[in-house]
Amino acid sequence: MKKVVLLIVASAICFSCKTSEQLSAPTPPAPPATVKPVSPVNNLNSSPKLVVGIVVDQMRYDYLNRFYNRFSDGGFKRLMTQGFNFKNNHYNYVPTYTGPGHASIYTGTTPKYHGIISNYWYDKTIDKSVYCASDNTVKSVGIDHVKEQMSPRRLMSTTFGDENRLFTEFKGKTIGIAIKDRGAILPAGHTANAAYWFHGKDLGKWISSTYYMNQLPDWVKNFNAKPIAESYLKPWTTLYDIDTYVESGDDLNAFERGFEGKDTATFPYDLNVLKDKNEGFDILKATAYGNALTADFAIAALDGENLGGDAITDVLTVSFSSTDYVGHNFGVNSKEIQDTYLRLDKDLERLFAALDAKVGKGQYTVFLTADHGAVNVPSYLKSVNIPAGYVDDETHNNTLKAFLKAKFNTDNLIKNISNNQIFLNHEVIKNNNLNLGEIQEAIVDEMIAYKDIDKAYTAKTMAAAPFAGGMELLLQNGYNQKKSGDVLYVYSPAYITYSKTGSTHGSGLSYDTHVPLLFYGKGVKQGSSFTKTAITDIAPTISALLGTSFPNRAIGEPLVEVLK
């Protein structure tokens, strides 16, 4: 009987404990309500509606300071005072040309990886020169012309625009615009909705290729139907009194080329009169009005393509190419280059006002940079006792060929010399049982003794040596193992292969590498920095801002100073 009572008591105690535990335990949470997943492209409230990448072709950094007091508050100054100014931004490779520059800005990498090693280069696999944007598998649109068969297929990397297209499931648009085809095509990348460039000559219209479309959209047809290009065939006079252009040299000098049909390279220029001797509408490319025409077309594209019209980020790339043409023609110290930048400032002001109106203030992000700088005209530098000059490439090349024949008792060892690179004939070398490395080293030893040659390196050195800085690292970053030559060489500072009038570029020296980098708009801090930055940092910075993957061959780093 006692055992039964004890069992009953024990059971009661156990039941009481369990009841107490249940009463004191927290109430289990209710099952979560079914939540409809939100597409990430509609959930990035911090992302701008539109990213506008602006490249000013051949813009040296010092132009920002040199012409600052003449700029309006709404153009360059708006970016400089309300945005972020990286004052020590440089190209981190050689050569500093338009094609490689535009490719590097938007891919975040260098020619070593993206493969655009120049504007034109010798293709050793097919034994002929190729153009960075040419593609004979496509046709031109807007004109039937074999020279306008263009696409980005030679670009061996994605751009940040490509990554944005992938991220948004192709809902975000990418549009590229420039007078130069390569300035429109390479920035826009592989997945762009369109790239448009200007065909001058007797047409004066904006065109594209079948890589993007089979016919021009109505808004482009309507733009081309208007006499907009024709309206710029007028006298090019200075925007302000030429006597106030004290930031540049004399208008009449011996260092400028000018236009056919005009005896002096001096203002004014009657473009309607001069056009027939200067390739028709192509004359606009080499004047400030080419930039105005580009701004007109870019503003039309905002409506025509509905850019920034919703919460999904679009990308617009705009390259102002005429600054390069003017620089090549007149030089970096000319009245013409100053007027071109003062007028470009007004065109930027128009573009930013259109962005404010159509996309909304604070709803878009802009960056502005350049594809390269330029050297001051060497003949001018010599006149003021600065070491400079012109390289006689023909004499160098003939001397080198004679040296190789004498040393190796063999003809035709060199197949091509271009872009400061020497391509050897590997078949001849093999057939004559010669040593490739020995020939490369012999060329370096020979060329380094030539007047006006500052450095020379073999392909083997470029591919293997662990350079940490200096010109050697710049050369290495521009060396592409599949495409570059057997020997690379560098001219002495301010020595160029060019006419004795006008400016050019391409070196790894500061006058070619130091370019502006301005950020402005949504997600951008206000400020400035003298920290050294590289052109390859731009694409990762924009990708970080958008929250997308970096371009697939990017080597740059996001500029955290600029991001909010």
Same domain, 123 and 192: yes
End-to-end CA distance of the chain: 81
| H-run or E-run covering 390 | strand 389-390
Separation between Cα atoms, residue 231 and residue 203, nearest integer Å: 14
Q: Is 421 strand, coil or helix?
A: strand
In a domain, 129, yes or no: yes
Peptide bond into 111 cis (omega under 30): no
Tallying the residues shown for the chain, one arrives at: 564
Same domain, 141 and 213: yes
Active site residue 98: yes
CATH code, 478: 3.30.1360.150
The two three-digit tokens of residue 497, written as one number? 């292969």
Residue of 309, 319, 381 lying closest to 186 (CA atoms): 319
Please count the CA atoms within 13 angstroms of the CA of 468 that sit on its side-chain side. 0
Burial class (CB in 10 A: 0-12, 13-18, 19+), 239: middle
Burial class (CB in 10 A: 0-12, 13-18, 19+), 76: buried
Residue of 88, 91, 170, 335 lying closest to 236 (CA atoms): 335
Q: Dmax over Cα atoms in the chain, in whole Å? A: 133
Same domain, 270 and 332: yes
Q: Output the pTM of the full model.
A: 0.92
Same domain, 61 and 107: no
The two three-digit tokens of residue 131, written as one number? 């153009």
């919703």: which residue's tokens? Answer: 310
Separation between Cα atoms, residue 414 and residue 401, nearest integer Å: 7
Rounded (10°) angle between helices 98-107 and 181-188 = 20
Residue of 484, 419, 491 lying closest to 455 (CA atoms): 491
Same domain, 202 and 237: no
Same domain, 450 and 543: no
Same domain, 77 and 191: no
| H-run or E-run covering 207 | strand 205-209
In a domain, 24, yes or no: no
DSSP conformational letter for 281: G
Q: Is 287 strand, coil or helix?
A: coil
In the chain, how many domains are there? 3
Yes or no: say if 111 and 419 are a contact pair by the CB < 8 Å rule.
Answer: no
DSSP conformational letter for 1: -
Alpha carbon of 220 to those of 1, 22, 188, 217, 300: distances in Å?
A: 104, 74, 17, 6, 8
Cβ within 8 Å of residue 98, ≥6 positions away: 57, 119, 180, 182, 183, 324, 371, 372
Q: Is 545 strand, coil or helix?
A: helix
pLDDT in tens, the chain (564 residues): 333 333 333 343 333 333 333 333 334 444 443 333 334 443 445 899 999 999 999 999 999 999 999 999 999 999 999 999 999 999 999 999 999 999 999 999 999 999 999 999 999 999 999 999 999 999 999 999 888 999 999 999 999 999 999 999 999 999 999 999 999 999 999 999 999 999 999 999 999 999 999 999 999 999 999 999 999 999 999 999 999 999 999 999 999 999 999 999 999 999 999 999 999 999 999 999 999 999 999 999 999 999 999 999 999 999 999 999 999 999 999 999 999 999 999 999 999 999 999 999 999 999 999 999 999 999 999 999 999 999 999 999 999 999 999 999 999 999 999 999 999 999 999 999 999 999 999 999 999 999 999 999 999 999 999 999 999 999 999 999 999 999 999 999 999 999 999 999 999 999 999 999 999 999 999 999 999 999 999 999 999 999 999 999 999 999 999 999
> Given this model, what pLDDT does residue 201 score?
97
Yes or no: say if 153 and 165 are a contact pair by the CB < 8 Å rule.
Answer: no
Sign of CA dihedral 203, 370, 363, 361: negative
DSSP conformational letter for 528: E
Same domain, 213 and 232: no
Same domain, 543 and 433: no
Domain around 185: 90-217+531-564
The two three-digit tokens of residue 463, written as one number? 């591919």
The two three-digit tokens of residue 371, written as one number? 């594809």
Q: In one letter, which amino acid is 407?
A: K
In a domain, 29, yes or no: no
In a domain, 427, yes or no: yes
Selecting among 96, 98, 294, 369, the annotated active-site residue is 98
Cβ within 8 Å of residue 363, ≥6 positions away: 48, 49, 50, 308, 522
Yes or no: say if 44 and 365 are a contact pair by the CB < 8 Å rule.
Answer: no
Separation between Cα atoms, residue 463 and residue 553, nearest integer Å: 18
In a domain, 176, yes or no: yes
Q: In one letter, which amino acid is 440?
A: Q
In a domain, 513, yes or no: no
> Given this model, what pLDDT does residue 30 score?
42
Same domain, 94 and 185: yes
In a domain, 61, yes or no: yes
CATH code, 332: 3.40.720.10
DSSP conformational letter for 27: P
Rg (alpha carbons) of the chain, rounded to whole number: 30
Query: How far is Cα of residue 444 from the mean position of the Cα atoms in its chain?
Result: 32
